[in-house]
Amino acid sequence: MEKIKAVQIESPDKLRIIEMNKPKIDSCNNVLVKIKAAGICGSDVGIYKGTNAAATYPRVIGHEMVGEVVETDGKTEKIKVGDRVIIDQVTSCGTCYACRHGRPNVCQNLQVRGVHIDGGYREYMAVPEEDCYILPEKLRYEDAVLIEPTTIAVQACSRAELKEEDELLIIGCGALGSRMLSIARLYGCKIIVADVVDEKLEDARKNGADFTINLLKENIEEKCKEYTTEAYGPTVTIDCACTKDSLGTAIKVTGNAGRVITMGFSVAPTEVTNFGITSKELDIRGSRLQNRKFQEVIDLVDEGKIDLNNKISHTFKFTDAQAAFDFNDTHDPSIRKIVLTMDE
Ligand code: MN
């Protein structure tokens, strides 16, 4: 049996490079992809550190994966050998309540590549044709990795039912928050971005934020009033910081009849009151993964509406994943997005 290399989290804090059988195509997983690059996401870090409640071990992690199709079963319609593709991380049962209501991203039997089943930090993957999307021609593999976090942003804005008249607060402007900004600005609404790092806030202003708030130096409640029409507060708050306290902050600052979108996976208790939600009749909505949003993002890239070039800050060979995760841990301010590459 031919072997390939992979990055496996054996158990929390134990990363190793393993050899595993090279995947083979079958009637279900009918496309073989040679993986070229895969991003490191906050959730990968969470699985590595044992803080992702959804993960099971041992696990080959990575869910932001792109590569080249090297084999098919000959029956594919959309995908052919030689295509450059990104792989959808969501696999679902198709029959549960969520699936029947068009929401496979929260399938009762959800199996996410890189979380519940093996993911993209390896040399080859066999996947169904319908989970492959053809990459924009001009995008390098390393940059194309960012299509996935952008789909997460598209999902959150769709869950928020964002409209031009909204006044949006994005809490957190890391890899996810900056993707959120790039999608939210397409709606033409007012955007306020909050973070703790001045450099990230400066980036946010350059990339379309109307106002920014440094959470360490400024009072977010006061600033949200100052920056919104008639001191109403944001009509939509999307929490891209996903810390224990960011939900409470979002509920506090969002205006009456507003929407709060949560994206975090923290299981730490946090203080939220009935009054905080009921008195303003807030909608608190979770946004998880994405619901078949890849083509939408690829179209936005092709139409020139979003630019995914020059966003990644560091690349490491995937066999140096330990060094990449260690470096990520330093929280060096230069880190925007780290990508692992699989080419020799
Ligand atoms: Mn991700």
CA of 60 to the centre of ligand 1 (A): 15
Residues whose CB falls within 8 Å of the CB of residue 51, separated by 6 or more in sequence, listed in order:
265
Residue 106 falls inside a structural domain: yes
Q: Tell whether 156 and 262 lie within a shared domain.
A: yes
Q: How far is CA 307 from CA 65, 157, 204, 228, 262, in A?
A: 18, 18, 14, 28, 25
Q: To the nearest whole number, what is the mean pLDDT of the chain?
A: 96
Whether 194 and 106 map to the same domain: the answer is no
The values of phi and psi at residue 180, to 5°, are -60, -45
Kindly state the average pLDDT of the residues 12-18.
98
pTM for the predicted model, two decimal places: 0.94
- Bridge partners, residue 17, by sequence: 7
In a domain, 61, yes or no: yes
pLDDT on residue 217: 98
Q: Let me know whether 113 and 241 are in one domain.
A: no
Give the count of domains, the chain: 2
Q: Is 175 helix (H, G, I), strand (E, B) or coil?
A: helix
Query: What is the mean pLDDT of the segment spanning 48-61?
Result: 94
CA angle centred on 270, ends 249 and 160, rounded to 5° = 50
Residue 81 above 70 pLDDT? yes
Among residues 35, 120, 130, 36, the alpha carbon closest in space to that of 76 is found at 130
CA of 150 to the centre of ligand 1 (A): 9
Same domain, yes or no, for 209 and 253?
Answer: yes
pLDDT value of residue 334: 87
Instruction: Tell whether 295 is covered by a domain.
Output: no
Distance between Cα 152 and ligand 1 center (Å): 8
pLDDT band at 343 (very low <50, low <70, confident <90, very high): confident
Question: Beta-carbon neighbour count of residue 243 at 10 Å?
Answer: 16
Q: Measure 38 CA to ligand 1 centroid, in angstroms.
A: 10
Distance, CA 312 to ligand 1 centroid (Å)? 13
Distance from residue 146's CA to the centre of ligand 1 (Å): 8
Cα–ligand 1 centroid distance for 248 (angstroms): 24
Question: Is 292 within the bounds of a domain?
Answer: no
CA of 41 to the centre of ligand 1 (A): 5
Q: Above pLDDT 90, what percent of the chain?
A: 92
Q: How far does the centroid of ligand 1 lie from the alpha carbon of residue 181, in Å?
A: 16
| 158 and 108 in a common domain | no
Question: Is 302 a domain residue?
Answer: no
331: buried, middle or exposed (CB in 10 Å: 19+, 13-18, 0-12)?
exposed
> Which CATH number do you get for residue 202?
3.40.50.720
Ligand 1 centroid from CA 52, angstroms: 13
For residues 73 and 119, membership in a common domain is answered with: yes
53 band by pLDDT with thresholds 50, 70 and 90: confident
In this structure, the answer to whether residues 12 and 60 fall within a common structural domain is yes
| 323 domain-assigned | yes
Alpha carbon distance 239, 257 (integer Å): 17
d(CA 317, CA 221): 43
What does DSSP assign to residue 320? Answer: G
Residue 236 domain-assigned? Answer: yes
Tell me the pLDDT band of 254, cut-offs 50, 70 and 90.
very high
Residue by residue, DSSP assigns 195-218 as ES-HHHHHHHHHTT-SEEEETTTS
CA of 154 to the centre of ligand 1 (A): 13
Same domain for 135 and 219, yes or no, is: no
- Is the confidence at residue 344, as pLDDT, over 70? no
Q: How many separate helices (H) and strands (E) can be counted in the chain?
A: 11, 18
Measured over the CA atoms of residue 179, residue 181, residue 184 and residue 186, the dihedral's sign is: negative
Instruction: Verify that 318 and 332 share a domain, yes or no.
Output: yes
Distance from the CA of 10 to the center of ligand 1, in angstroms? 20
Distance 198 CA to ligand 1 centre (A): 24
Q: Give the model confidence (pLDDT) of 203-233 as tens digits.
A: 999 999 999 999 999 999 999 999 999 999 9
Other C-beta atoms closer than 10 Å to the C-beta of 7 total 27
**Statement to judge: residues 184 and 79 lie in one domain:** no
Sign of CA dihedral 332, 333, 334, 338: positive
Are 223 and 213 spatial neighbours (Cβ–Cβ below 8 Å)? yes
**Ligand 1 centroid to residue 151 C-alpha, Å:** 9
Q: Are 124 and 225 members of one domain? A: no
Domain boundaries, position 70: 3-146+309-341
- Cα of 148 to ligand 1 centre, how many Å? 6
CATH assignment at residue 320: 3.90.180.10
How far apart CA 125 and CA 62 sit, in angstroms, is 12
pLDDT, average across residues 141-158 = 97
- Distance in Å, CA 12 to ligand 1 centroid: 19
Say if 195 falls within a structural domain: yes
Q: Quick one: 70 and 139 in the same domain?
A: yes
* DSSP 8-state assignment for residue 135: P
pLDDT in tens, 177-212: 999 999 999 999 999 999 999 999 999 999 999 999
Report pLDDT for 175: 85
